[in-house]
Structure 1
Amino acid sequence: MHVLAATNNLYPDPSATGSGRYNYEVGRRLVERGHRVSVITRQRGDAPARETVAGMDVYRYGASVPRLPATMRTIEGLVESVRAREPVDLVSFHGALSSFGVDRATPDAVPRTYTIHGLWGVEYRDRLVDPSPWAAPYHWLNRTLRHRVEGRVLGHSDAAVVLSEFQRGRVRDHHPDAPPVRVVPGGVDVERFAPLDGPAPEAFGGEDISLLTVRRLTPRMGLETLLDAFARVVDDGLDAHLYVGGDGPLRGDLAARAERLGVASDVTFLGYVPEDDLPGLYAGADAFVLPTLELEGFGLATLEALASGTPVVGTTAGATPEILGPLESRPEVPEPLLVPPGERDALADRLAAWARLSASERAAAGEACRAYVLDAGYTWAAVTDRLEALFGDVRAGSASGGTDSQ
């Protein structure tokens, strides 16, 4: 089977996101199973226009909003190049911009699936930090166009894929005419993300408890609440340090907030964390914190931390309870993992409770976290199994069947 994937980014390109990692992990495994995978993606950094990545044929295009018609023509030309080498059996959409161009250039008879990692218009709204009221018409138009482009690609797809029940509900709310929606949870590379076999990374100091979060620094991530809760943990006399990985528009505001709270010396802003450094950070932390306020569509970072043997304290926002809820019932997990979003005191109490556990209790909980990931099938091999089956259903005209559909 020749699969053409359309995505806005692809690991290991610079600034690749979770969807880029998803495409890389699934794509390379499809290649290992004997399929051909071509990828059309946006060019980032100094990545070449054409190359082979983990057996996948990768085609990159430059993108510019003022030159959008030219961008679409470029994408359409790349589709023609892909099809000239070998007919495409199925198109797998990821990200509306790339998918829109690929959809236009692909014959209607070719089956299509659309994996929705996040709703494009909603995510655009989230990235706005105190937008000027004078720009409101522009932002409204931008959100509306994104929603319509996304809807058009969905309307041309035979099946939609989401990573959680939460996201399935949101797709149905925003796109009621969407095709059948299947839930295929994300995965984690359990060989790469594993407990430490040696000392903790140099990024960590000598404190008793190291708390870690890795997030894009935007309003919905709940980092203000995390800082407020952490300040209470420090005030309670616990020897803890908070490490904040990631960058974004709130970086300066968060640093100033830590200063005002009197915990600037207890908080380290790591900035952008390269992919190669993530496994050591996850495994070296005593707990990972996911303080999201809203729109947590799945949470690959949650799985990466758990696979590393690191407990995750998260909020009930979005899909996080789907991952952490079953884990809470394991006897080796002595404290709850979930708190309501935006509640400082609840988060502070939970972090303090985990910080007060003995080393042996934390070790047992960490082992249970990794075992849970393996038992629940949160691996890229399992994800690829389910997608491969879906692709077969779509090609056979039975996308609405199977245990993942409702």
Structure 2
Amino acid sequence: MNILASGMGWFDHTPGGLNRYFADYMEAMRRQGHDMRGLITARGERVSAPSYVKEVLAPAAQGAAGASTLARNRAFAGAVRAELRREPADVFNPHFALYAMMVTRQLLPPHVPIVTHFHGPWAQEGRVEDRGGRLARGVRYRLKRRIELLSYRRSDRFIVLSAYFRDVLADSYGIAPERISIIPGAVDTARFCPAPDRELVRRELGLLPDQRVFFCARRLAARMGLDRLIRAMAGVAQSHPQAVLYIAGDGVQREALRALIAELGLGGRVVLLGRISNEALVQWYQAADCSIVPTATLEGFGLVTVEALACGTPVLGTPYGGTREILERFAPELLFADGSPEALAARLDAVLGGAVRLPDAAQCREHVLARYTWAEVARQVGELFAEAVHARSGQVAR
């Protein structure tokens, strides 16, 4: 099947769950025999995308640092038109509402269905992160919301990664549940795997033999709950001097989190690693005693949860969204009672004190191999695409 997909950015330039998913998804679908073509934007920076993924460039306005949102939208619509002229597609598969907004039904042949991957409520996430004035925040929220509604009302079918996001899509956007299919995310289990020699990896990272290492890979943003995790570590550090928390990632909260660490006297006990390479990410998962996902809200799937488990590392997570769905069916004791600093501290203390027994590496990895592989995800997506093509053809024939 010939599929034209549109994403957001490329993961090596703009790390994040959507971009990581899009890259691995494209590769997995090609391995299943589908002719996948992808469109992304990276604003002209050099990215490592393969030849079947094209970067859409939009001209910048005179004197501007980059292209406007409207210009990028027009460029995306033009790129879709050009790709369809070059080679027809059986399915159009957008992954980000903003860059699908101008791809109207008139732009696509009547028989081509639109199957949208819904990776989250863009407007709502933006409102949580927005630190601008009240009026400006409201304007930006309404604009993003309008863009989402315009994009989604054209879609024939939707794919979500969790039951939580199915409910968000149905309740917040009015999408009929029968048009929504839950196909969970997945992980490259060949790359995310236990280390042959875990102690060697720990030494390479400079970790001490007696350290109890907690690791958290998150964008440094408000909804990720990192401030609560750091506050939880204040009490844990006093009771367990061997406990250390390493946080990988970058974002707008970097300086605020750094200041919080200093304020609580946690220098050396909570370490901000900044942005790390994909190779280093795997090493940190392998080396950690436990990975932590402290997200406060809007956790649609929890790719970092599956990545850590694939490396044989147990995960403690807040009981929200996709994280809850992954851990609840595996080991419910890995879920925090809630997202408060007190609940996080209580569970960390229980783990360090031995009151909570963590699953071993084999159990963690087996949970992923049984449910979250790209071969299975690609199979399910392919079946859904075939259904959408058949249904659309029937509508056109009538």
TM-score by length of 2: 0.89
Residues 34-183 of structure 1: pairs in structure 2 closer than 5 A: 34-44=33-43, 46-47=45-46, 53=50, 56-62=52-58, 67-103=68-104, 105-129=107-131, 131-132=132-133, 136-177=134-175, 180-183=179-182
The answer on whether the counterparts of 1:308 and 1:370 sit within 8 Å (CA) in structure 2 is: yes
* Residue 8 (str. 1) matches residue 8 (str. 2): yes
The match for 1:374 is: 369
CA positional deviation for 1:145: 1.6
Q: Is the CA contact 2:115–2:158 (under 8 Å) kept in the aligned structure 1?
A: yes
Partner Cα distance (2:59, 2:325) in 1: 36
Unaligned regions of 5+ residues in structure 1, if any? Answer: 330-335, 400-406
Given that 1:43 and 1:62 are in contact with CA atoms closer than 8 Å, whether structure 2 keeps it comes out as no
Comparing 92-101 with 184-193, which one deviates more in the overlay?
Answer: 92-101
Separation in 2, partners of 1:263, 1:57 = 43
Separation (CA, whole Å) in 1 of partners of 2:297 and 2:116? 23
Distance 1:124 1:254 in 2: 20
Aligned to 1:294: 297
- TM-aligned CA deviation for residue 381 of structure 1: 1.1
Q: Check conservation: 1:4, 1:90, Cα contact below 8 A.
A: yes
Which whole-Å deviations, capped at 9, do the CAs of 1:275-328 have from their partners, x for residues lacking one?
222111111100001111111111000000011111101111222110001111
Say whether the 8 Å CA contact 2:308–2:314 is kept in structure 1. yes
CA distance in 2, matches of 1:45, 1:195: 36
1:20 alignment partner in structure 2: 19
Q: Any idea what SS the aligned residue of 2:214 has? A: strand
- Tell me if structure 2 keeps the 8 A contact 1:255–1:264: no
Match of residue 344 from structure 1: 341
Distance 1:322 1:143, change over 3 A: same
Query: Residue 186 of structure 1: SS of its match in structure 2?
Result: coil
Q: 1:351 to 1:181 in 2, by over 3 A?
A: same
Q: Is the Cα contact below 8 Å between 2:5 and 2:36 reproduced in 1? A: yes
- 1:320 paired to 2:323: yes
CA distance in 2, matches of 1:274, 1:98: 27
Q: Would you say the 8 A contact 1:72–1:101 is kept in 2? A: yes
Matching of residues 201-240 of structure 1 within 5 Å: 201=202, 202-206=204-208, 207-240=210-243
- Gap change, CA 1:6 and 1:23, over 3 Å in 2: same
1:236-264 Cα deviation digits (max 9, x unpaired): 13411110111112211212212222211
Q: CA deviation at 1:398?
A: 7.9
Q: Distance in 1 between matches of 2:286 and 2:184?
A: 22
**Which amino acid in the other structure matches residue 81 of structure 2?**
E
- CA offsets per residue over residues 78-126 of structure 1, 9 Å max, x none? 1222112211110001001221233463334321111111111012112
1:194 aligns to what?
193
Q: Partner of 1:277 in structure 2?
A: 280
User: Cα–Cα, structure 1 residues 244 and 57, in superposed 2: closer, same or farther, change >3 Å?
Assistant: closer
2:253 aligned with 1:259, yes or no?
Answer: no
Q: CA RMSD, aligned part only? A: 2.3
Partner of 2:396: none
The 8 Å contact of residues 91 and 110 in structure 1, kept in 2 or not, is answered as yes
Which stretches in structure 2 are left out of the alignment for 5+ residues? 61-65, 394-398
Quickly say closer, same or farther: Cα 1:321–1:70, change in 2 above 3 A. Answer: closer
Contact 2:113 2:155 in 1 (8 A): yes
Which one of 372, 378, 383 corresponds to residue 377 of structure 2?
Answer: 383
How far apart, CA to CA, are the structure 2 residues paired with 1:155 and 1:17? 26
Partner SS, residue 102 of structure 2: helix
**Partners in 2 of 1:91 and 1:181 — Cα distance?**
16
- CA displacement 1:363-393 (0-9 Å, x = unmatched): x522211111112x21111111110111011
| Alpha-carbon spacing, 1:237–1:25, altered in 2? closer, same or farther (3 Å) | closer
Deviations 1:197-222 (CA, angstroms, capped at 9, x unpaired): 22125334214201000111122111
Contact 1:162 1:181 in 2 (8 A): yes
* 8 Å contact kept, 1:186–1:298: yes
One-letter amino acid of the structure 2 residue matched with residue 159 of structure 1: R
TM-score norm. by structure 1 comes to 0.87
- Please give the alpha-carbon distance, in whole angstroms, between the structure 2 residues aligned to 1:215 and 1:204: 21
Q: Return the match for 2:251 from 236, 248, 254.
A: 248
In structure 1, how many angstroms separate the alpha carbons of the residues matched to 2:253 and 2:338? 18
Is the Cα–Cα contact under 8 Å of residues 59 and 78 in structure 1 kept in the other structure? Answer: no
Cα drift, residue 57 of structure 1? 4.2
